[in-house]
Amino acid sequence: MSTALVLAACGGGSGGGSAQMGPVAGLPSTPAQTTTPTAPATPEAQAPAEPVAPVASAGPTDTEILGLVDSTNLSSAGYPWNGRYAGVVKRWSLPIPVKTNGEARAVPAMDEIEAKLGFAVFDRASIAAADEATITRGIVFRRGTAYLPAGANPQGFCANVSDAPFGGGWSASLLNPGELSGRMYVNLDNPQCVADGAIVIHEIGHALGLATHFKGFGDDDGAVGPEFWPVLATLYANAIGTPKASVLIKQIDKN
């Protein structure tokens, strides 16, 4: 066979170019495997924490209130009771006549006491214009007359209860069977100390029959604390002369 026929059979020619091969049937190809990047795991969302309601501190128990009422009023141990009408409730018969002498701080203090106790405590009219010398029963407010002993810290003597302006003594006049009476002064302020609203309420508390300090009433924990209100409310929820064994406790909102 001639060389020309061989070239013709291969589809070649004298041009020297490479032959164009047609498509060659073959096995179907497997598509290339593509790897999708894996996203980092997302942490599971945490539910927001539920707000924790503040736990209100428990107020004084009935037993604690009775103990405080006893220490400041019923037992009659020490000043100003000095053993008189021991073991029974000693307080004013209501309403209590009051002469404010224009002292503005007296009004909100009396308002708060009446709001807490839930009834009228003070008679604000009957002696309002009376001459002090003629008053035989009631509470009289005076400004700038607080008792200040010589050499004492003025901040510790901003106000007091006494039988007279500038006086340091309180006789706590009592009628049978334990009724507070007489003319009593609530002295506010000295030249170096001005009584705030809490101190005014504190001094009225003394005038109403809370003789000595206790927890919640000037016992190194402020002029008026949570224990003050139920002690005062208990005193005035019981009749004058009620013996300790029969005292009914009056719980009251401390806020």
For every one of its 255 residues, what pLDDT tens digit does the chain have, with 9 covering 90 and above?
433 332 222 333 333 333 333 333 333 333 444 444 555 555 454 544 555 554 555 789 999 999 999 999 999 988 999 999 999 999 999 999 999 999 999 999 999 999 999 999 999 999 999 999 999 999 999 999 999 999 999 999 999 999 999 999 999 999 999 999 999 999 999 999 999 999 999 999 999 999 999 999 998 788 999 999 999 999 999 999 999 999 999 998 655
Sign of the CA dihedral running 205, 207, 210, 211 = positive
* Residue 148 placed within a domain: yes
* Residue 46 placed within a domain: no
Residues in the chain: 255
**Given strand 183-188, what is the order of strands in its sheet?**
122-123, 96-99, 138-143, 183-188, 159-162
* Residue 110 placed within a domain: yes
Domain count, the chain: 1
* Residue 218 placed within a domain: yes
- According to DSSP, residue 168 is labeled -
* Residue 90 placed within a domain: yes
| Domain CATH for 114 | 3.40.390.10
Q: Contact, 139 vs 173, CB < 8 A?
A: no
* Residue 158 placed within a domain: yes
Spatial distance between the Cα atoms of 51 and 44, rounded to a whole number of angstroms = 21
Residue carrying structure tokens 């308002």:
111
Buried/exposed 167-196: b ≥16 CB within 10 Å, e otherwise = eeebebebeeebbbebbbbbbbbbeebebe
* Residue 167 placed within a domain: yes
* Residue 30 placed within a domain: no
Q: Can you give the residue range of the structural domain that contains 142?
A: 62-246
Spatial distance between the Cα atoms of 197 and 213, rounded to a whole number of angstroms = 18
Instruction: Name the H helices within the chain.
Output: 3-9, 62-69, 106-117, 197-208, 228-237
Tokens of 42: 């997302």
Q: Contact, 211 vs 79, CB < 8 A?
A: yes
Neighbours of 197 (CB within 10 A): 13
